[in-house]
Structure 1
Amino acid sequence: MFFLISPHLQPVSAVEIQECQDIRSSGMYVLTADVYGVQYGKDYCIGIFADNVILDGNGYSVEGAEIRFRTTQGVRIVEANNVTIKNLRISKYDYGIYMRESNYTTIINNIVELNVITGIYLRDSHHNEISSNNIVFNGGGIYLENSHNNAITDNTISSNSQHGIELVFSIKTMILNNTVSSNGYGILLDASNNNTVIGNDIESNTAEGVYLDSSRYNEILVNTISSNGETGIYLVYSDYNTILNNTVSLNGQHGIELVFSIKTMILNNTVSSNTFDGVYLAYSDYGIISGNTISSNGDDGIELEASNKTIIVNNTVSLNTFSGIYVHSSSKYNMIFNNVFNNSINVVLDDAGRNYWNTTRIAERDIVGGNYLGGNYWGSPYATGFSDTCGDRDRDGICDSPFQIDENNTDWLPLSRPVQPPPSITLDPGSTMILAMITVLAIIGVIASASRLKKKV
């Protein structure tokens, strides 16, 4: 992402700023020099306490001191609405931009770096936009507390030691199209509901890529979440969330992990090459895992630990190192059908309860192209799995015998290898004409032979 700090051009009728000061009247203000430190007797450099203010950094810097004896702020916005902060470099404070009880503000095209606590901090502030900023080498990147209906878009947020983006008690925030990399945590939601995390690149963070704690009804959509030091997407005590259409790969622990989190939907994700499991559920019930491609993970494709009544359907689970699905610790009443398992070991049960491995036989296209829904396809990378080799005398796509896993778990309708129709031959017009001529000549030959036989008689 490319950031452009505007050249030193002064807008017409703008108020010039050449030192730290307060802004208490509406209007446009423009820096015409770099400014340093804080105001005498105060803990901030520029304070904005009026509505309808535009502060244009004009490519200049607001820079704090290397050594501080109190908590400092580069730009302080308090009880001010419809403010714009743009084209400013803010560095070496405790808070780069500190905003409280301020709404409808835009923070755009700034460089916010080397601030000790947080680059951009919002508290009790709503309907604000943080867009196209470069937020790097701070303690935390962006922090929102009790702030609602905000948008965080198109920022580069990297190399912050604590977090890239953190929301606390904040609802209905849109986190869109950001690059969030090489931070402590990537994106952290704490007791924050109804937020959307969409279209972000979340890579190479030290801890989790996306971390939800006690957060509900959030959507994590179409993100690339890779090469993070711990789990790609981690939910704890977080219910009713949706994880959809993400690419989750090469993370240092699990791809997706749910702990004490109920009614989560994990849909249409590609989860591959993570160090441990692709999808791991612990003490998490009533979920849906559907339409995912889960492959080449270092442990299990899917692991259920003490997790019940989850629907696992329409997934392709292949080439995982330990097993396709590992069910243990009394996990029970899960519905697992119409999946392709193609691993050296497809299923491992350890103190599992009764689970259901097929639906009723329904005339509907199954995951491998057969004509009936039933159970799962139990394949093998070597084409020696149960479904690869089972008999199917009536060719209905269902194996003639059940696949028994243990005394409490049987796939009664395992899918069989689909019957391939004979290859069709399509002739081009020239070939069709030649074939017709051959046919005519053959008919003529038959007639001639019959005529000769008649003369001999």
Structure 2
Amino acid sequence: MKVKLIGDCLSKLISAALVVALLLVSAGVASAEVIYVEPGASIQAAVNNSTTGDFVIVKAGDYEENIVANVSGVTVTSEPENPAGVFIRARDENSSVFQVKADNVTISGFNITGSGDFFSTSGAASFRNSINTGNSGEPDVTEGQEAGNTYGPGSGEIFISRSNGFDCPQAGICLDQVENCTIERNYIFENQYGVYLQNSINSTLSNNTCFRNGVWIDEGCSKNTVKNNSIEEGNFILGAHCWDNVIFQNRLSNGGGIGIACCGGGNLVSDNDIVNCSTGIDIYDTQGRTVLSDNRIKDCDYGIYLILVFDSRVYNNTISNSNRGVFLRENSQSNELFNNTITSSNESGIYLLDYSTDNRIYNNYFNNTLNVKAENSEGNIWNTTKTSGQNIVEGPYLGGNFWADLNGTGFSQTTEDSDSDGICDLPYNINGSDFDYLPLAKPPVQPEDDQLLLIEYQITTNESYQGNPAIYNDWIVWQDKRNGNQDIYMYDLSTKKENSDHYQ
């Protein structure tokens, strides 16, 4: 491995630990070189001097430039001893700070800012006012539209490609028609877009923090993985015709949430935390199955919003303190929603509108002032076949849903379960002709660990009356009138023998 120096660093020593680390990383790449960039020198010059497999190591300092990474297989990273010490600001605010135009490139460990006007959370919430289907059902961009055919907030611009197909937009990092690239451990703040992908596949975005910008994956991007990132006051957008992408274990807060545009499918959105966003997860007109699972959504206007969505699976999500927990509209059909917990919604736990029918909705826990609101959306299925197995409230059978309310007077909380099978004795009328025929019943109260739950019951068959049971050490004590007298009986748990005392 060779070492090149960009800038005045002849008088400085290279860390032995750093050299060892790079030797380990580059093992097996005999021709790999390490190129160091000192403050005041050009990162672009270092990239231009690199070849496949090289490492460009940027020393701590402030840099002002726009970098085009057009060398396949190059790694551009901050020095390991000070990964937070490299600040790169766009020299030209109309261009991306990093443009990646070659495959197998890694960008890692930088603070990146200054490309375009940074994200506005009010802009993220403009979705309801910017998209109108009109009579054709096709979206068109409008100004301030507040009429009936308006959609929920969160991904207000997901139908509009931000790229002209040739150049990168204003972004912290832009991947332009590449594959197998890695963007990791960067702090990307106050750009128009944090990370932007166009026509790129098989790339990974991990452990980045975006502040006042977000992640935008434009049309035609497939098989990318976005995991363990934090987006504050921004959003995540997956554009049209995107297939088989994974959005996993990210945290989004105080912005626009996750939006998925039309005509793609096979995408997985799982194990994300979404807090105080206009919409938690917003999906429009997907063509293949989308899976939303194990997400935690809190304090959003809408929890999960499905528009013209078919054959999606929504399960194991927890949604709390939203205006509407789950919203299906505009012919959202043949979706399966199960094992979700939806609580404390201000308007409704689930809202079905405009011929959203033939959806299977079962084994969910609803605890809201109004659990279901449905308009022109009868014909949904609210229970599965009664099947042995633990349900969402730990009962012994799967069936329908658990219907609670915040006052403790919900259907499942008050309806009798005479045979203790965990299913209410009566069906629950959802709306018109729709019923949950197997509503889940309130489970029996279980004692906490190391506590006994004392229940009055007859210990021996010849006793006529028992009352006032109590436990004292190893004794069960109760009153009994078996002989016409008010006697006290005691059962010794250690010897399994009964004693009695008669009193007047």
* TM-score, normalised relative to structure 1: 0.77
Q: Which amino acid aligns with 2:275?
A: S
- Which of 303, 317, 322 is matched with 1:278 structurally? 303
1:114 is the counterpart of 2:144: no
Q: CA deviation at 1:78?
A: 8.7
Q: Which amino acid aligns with 1:216?
A: W
Post-superposition Cα deviations, 1:274-313, rounded to whole Å, max 9, x if no partner, equal: 1x2100000011000000101101x210001121111100
CA distance in 1, matches of 2:491, 2:221: 77
Aligned match of 2:230 in 189, 193, 201?
Answer: 201
Counterpart in the other structure of 1:138 = 115
**Root mean square deviation of aligned Cα:** 3.1
- Whole-Å separation in 2 of the counterparts to 1:444 and 1:399: 39
Aligned-partner Cα distance in 2 for 1:81–1:288: 42
Q: Are the counterparts in 2 of residues 355 and 408 from structure 1 also a CA contact under 8 Å?
A: no
* CA offset digits 1:381-420 (Å, max 9, x no partner): 1111111111211121111111112233111111111123
The CA distance in 1 between the partners of 2:210 and 2:89, in whole Å, is 15
Matched, 1:82 2:53: yes
| 2:215 equivalent to 1:186 | yes
The verdict on how the C-alpha distance between 1:76 and 1:314 changes in structure 2, with shifts beyond 3 A counting, is: same
Q: 1:157–1:181: 8 Å Cα contact kept in structure 2?
A: yes
Conserved 8 A contact 1:75-1:97: no
Partner residue, 1:213 = 240
Does the 8 A contact of 1:203 with 1:209 survive in 2? no
Give the equivalent residue in structure 1 for 2:68. 98
Q: How does 1:327-346 map to 2 (within 5 A)?
A: 327-346=352-371
Q: Is the 8 A contact 2:63 2:88 kept in 1?
A: yes
Counterpart of 1:393 in structure 2 is 418
Q: Residues 284, 265 of structure 1: CA spacing in aligned structure 2 closer, same or farther, 3 A cutoff? A: same
Q: 1:59 aligns with which of 28, 36, 39?
A: 39
Aligned pairs (5 A) from 1:403-442: 403-420=428-445, 425=452, 431-432=473-474
Counterparts of 1:308 and 1:445 in 2: how far apart (Å)? 67
Amino acid at match of 1:131: S
- Distance across 2 between alignment mates of 1:255 and 1:286: 20
Equivalent in the alignment of 1:155: 186
Alignment correspondent of 1:302: 326
- Aligned equivalents of 1:372, 1:426: Cα separation in 2: 24
- Residue 243 (str. 1) matches residue 239 (str. 2): no
Which secondary structure state, in structure 1, belongs to the residue aligned with residue 103 of structure 2?
coil
Do 2:90 and 2:96's aligned partners in 1 also have CA atoms closer than 8 Å? no
3-state DSSP class of the match of 1:236?
Answer: coil
User: 1:318 aligns to what?
Assistant: 343
Counterpart Cα distance in 1 of 2:69 and 2:420: 68
2-side partners of 1:177 and 1:445: how far apart?
69
Determine helix, strand or coil for the equivalent of 2:239: strand
Counterpart in the other structure of 1:69: none
2:402 aligned residue (369, 372, 377): 377
Find out whether 1:358 has 2:353 as its counterpart. Answer: no
Report the equivalent of 1:265.
291
In structure 2, the residue matched to 1:166 is 196
C-alpha displacement of 1:434:
12
Question: Distance between the aligned counterparts of 1:426 and 1:311, measured in 2?
Answer: 39
Distance 2:253 2:491 in 1: 62
- Structure 1 position 128, deviation (Å): 1.6
Distance in 2 between residues matched to 1:283 and 1:122, nearest whole Å: 35
Q: For residue 323 of structure 1, what is the amino acid of its counterpart? A: S
Match of 2:121 in 1: none
Contact 1:291 1:314 in 2 (8 A): yes
Distance of aligned partners of 1:373 and 1:28 in 2 relative to their CA distance in 1, 3 Å threshold: same
Q: Is the contact made by 1:277 and 1:301 (CA closer than 8 Å) also made in structure 2?
A: yes
Shift in alpha-carbon separation, 1:293–1:421, aligned structure 2, 3 A: closer
Q: Which residue of 2 aligns with 1:177?
A: 207
Contact (CA 8 Å) 1:169, 1:192: kept in 2 or not?
yes
Call closer, same or farther: CA 1:204–1:446 in 2, change over 3 Å: closer
Identity rate, percent: 27
| Structure 1 unaligned spans of 5+ | 1-12, 14-25, 34-50, 64-72, 450-457
Alpha-carbon distance, 1:214 to partner: 2.2
Q: For residues 326 and 57 of structure 2, what CA distance do their matches in structure 1 show?
A: 47
- Contact 1:232/1:249 (<8 A) preserved: no
Alignment deviations for residues 229-254 of structure 1 (CA, whole Å, 9 cap, x no partner): x3344443331100110001111x21
CA separation in 1, counterparts of 2:222 and 2:52?
Answer: 24
Q: How far is the alpha carbon of 1:368 from its aligned partner? A: 0.6
SS in 2 for 1:425: coil
**How far apart are the structure 1 equivalents of 2:281 and 2:107?**
28
| Equivalent position of 1:46 in the other structure | none
Per the alignment, do residues 74 and 210 of structure 1 end up closer, same or farther by CA in structure 2, a change over 3 Å counting? Answer: farther
Determine helix, strand or coil for the equivalent of 2:115. coil
Letter of the 2:55 partner, please give it. Answer: T
Distance 1:77-1:147 versus aligned 2 partners, 3 A rule: farther
2:5 is matched with which residue?
29
Q: Secondary structure at the match of 1:387?
A: helix
What is the CA–CA distance in structure 2 between the aligned matches of 1:376 and 1:182, rounded to whole Å?
A: 39
- TM-score, normalised by the number of residues in structure 2: 0.70
Question: What is the letter of the counterpart of residue 432 of structure 2?
Answer: E
Mark the CA change 1:236 to 1:90 in structure 2 (over 3 Å): closer, same or farther: farther
Q: Which letter maps to 1:149? A: N
Q: Please give the alpha-carbon distance, in whole angstroms, between the structure 1 residues aligned to 2:50 and 2:233.
A: 37
Shift in Å, 1:193: 0.5
Taking the aligned partners of 2:387 and 2:222, their CA distance within structure 1 comes to 39
Cα distance in 2 for partners of 1:419, 1:136 equals 56
